[in-house]
Amino acid sequence: MEKFIAKKVTLMGPGPTQVYPSVLESLSMGTIGHLDPQFIQMMDEVKEMLHGAFQTKNTLTMVVSAPGSAGMETCFVNLVEDGDKVIICQNGVFGGRMKENVERYGGVAVMVEDDWGTSISLDKAQAAIDANPDAKIFAFVHAETSTGVLSDAEALCKMAKDAGMLTIMDAVTSLGGLPVKIDEWGVDAVYSGSQKCLACVPGLSPISLSPAAVAKIEARTSKVKSWFMDLNLVMAYWGGTGKRSYHHTAPVNALFGLHEALRLFTNEGADAVFARHLACHERLKAGLTELGLTFFVAESDRLPQCNVINIPEGVDDLELRTKLLNDHQLEIGGGLGPMAGKIWRIGLMGGSATEENVDKCLAALKAELAPVTA
């Protein structure tokens, strides 16, 4: 058996994204123990930088040793008890996954549904809150990866907080690409992923929980229905500073990579990072318009880091994406669920958000679409 060597591909799908070279270098450092004092110091630095990225002072800010889906489960399994009513806003795939989590952990999901490709309706959300004053939690996706839609997190959180509900927010695609202001907005539990705008490898999920969320966890009358994700146990490993209690063997090298990705984000500066993502989006938008392609999402609701395009009539989705991958070494994403075969998702996240990548994507699309549209 020969050593596996992956072919180089420019990643411009909805994730994973291009990983910065210095992040890859950090991943290749010699492995050390997960209770080694220098590793503990690095964990503290990761927490500090996550405080900046999430714009929060939450003590319980840490990294789940698994992808963003596990970050989602960590928030729901710790905060939802049997019979708890949870209002969930769904305008894409990932609101549906929130529903799955609530029901699997014994909660009652109240769905607020909006058309895919539109932002969460504030009026519908308020009506659901008014109709369910006994709901304990209000959950929503800030940046819906499946449709490229941004919703008004600040307004949604205010509605829920005014009604005395805890809030859970999916920031998998927004963290590192758009402002995420956990304390200012009143988000009680948030989760993200390492492989999107932070430009690290897949496999880690930054999370942050407010004091109110921690209080609910500590006041549970039943055990958390997951040993690995029970924050009562994990807090002793990530909480505080200095000495840690053993919980699990952390993914040491992956955390080396995340530390470097967060360092790059911090040093570039949040405002500069956001401006870079937006500038690349504008460049892509201009080029796509010249090609006659149209956006699936109204301009006011679009994510600059996840651009969703209507597939032109007569173009085979899978065939074109296969040509892009094989002939141009370029990956873009297709649609999920009911949007499969109808849209393309072009990611401009982290290391992928460069003018060079935008131009490469536009040139490849022009070359492959020309025979079809001629």
Burial 44-67 (b: 16+ CB within 10 A, else e): eebbebbbebbbbebbbbbbbbbb
Whole-angstrom distance, CA of residue 100 vs CA of residue 146? 17
State which H helix or E strand residue 193 sits in.
Answer: none
pTM (predicted TM-score):
0.95
3-state class (DSSP) for residue 206: strand
Whole-angstrom distance, CA of residue 248 vs CA of residue 269? 33
76-115 pLDDT per residue, tens = 999 999 999 999 999 999 999 999 999 999 999 999 999 9
pLDDT at 242: 53
pLDDT at 241: 54
> For residue 206, what are its two tokens?
């930054």
* Residue tagged 């870079």 (tokens): 276
Q: For residue 191, what is the DSSP state?
A: E
Q: Which CATH architecture has domain 10-14+270-373?
A: Alpha-Beta Complex (3.90)
The two beta strands, 85-90 and 137-141, are: parallel
Sequential DSSP letters for 9-46: -EE-SSSS-PPPHHHHHHHTSPP--TT-HHHHHHHHHH
pLDDT at 234: 85
Q: For residue 352, what is the DSSP state?
A: G
pLDDT at 373: 55
pLDDT at 240: 55
Taking the C-alpha atoms of 16, 63, 102 and 216 in order, what is their torsion angle to the nearest 10 degrees? -160
Domain boundaries, the chain: 10-14+270-373, 22-266
CB atoms within 10 A of CB 227: 10
Q: In Å, what is the CA distance from 53 to each residue of 185, 266, 267, 271, 356?
A: 14, 8, 12, 11, 26
Taking the C-alpha atoms of 30, 36, 38 and 40 in order, what is their torsion angle to the nearest 10 degrees? 120
Query: Quick check: do 10-14+270-373 and 22-266 share a fold?
Result: no
Name the nearest CA neighbour of 90 among 80, 82, 100.
100
Sequential DSSP letters for 61-117: EEEESS-HHHHHHHHHHHH--TT-EEEEEESSHHHHHHHHHHHHTT-EEEEEE--TT
Q: Which CATH architecture has domain 22-266?
A: 3-Layer(aba) Sandwich (3.40)
CB atoms within 10 A of CB 42: 17
* Residue tagged 């539990």 (tokens): 189
* Residue tagged 């967060």 (tokens): 262
pLDDT at 233: 86
Q: Count of alpha carbons within 13 Å of 357, Cβ hemisphere only?
A: 26
Which ranges of the chain have pLDDT less than 70?
240-244, 371-374
Whole-angstrom distance, CA of residue 294 vs CA of residue 372? 16
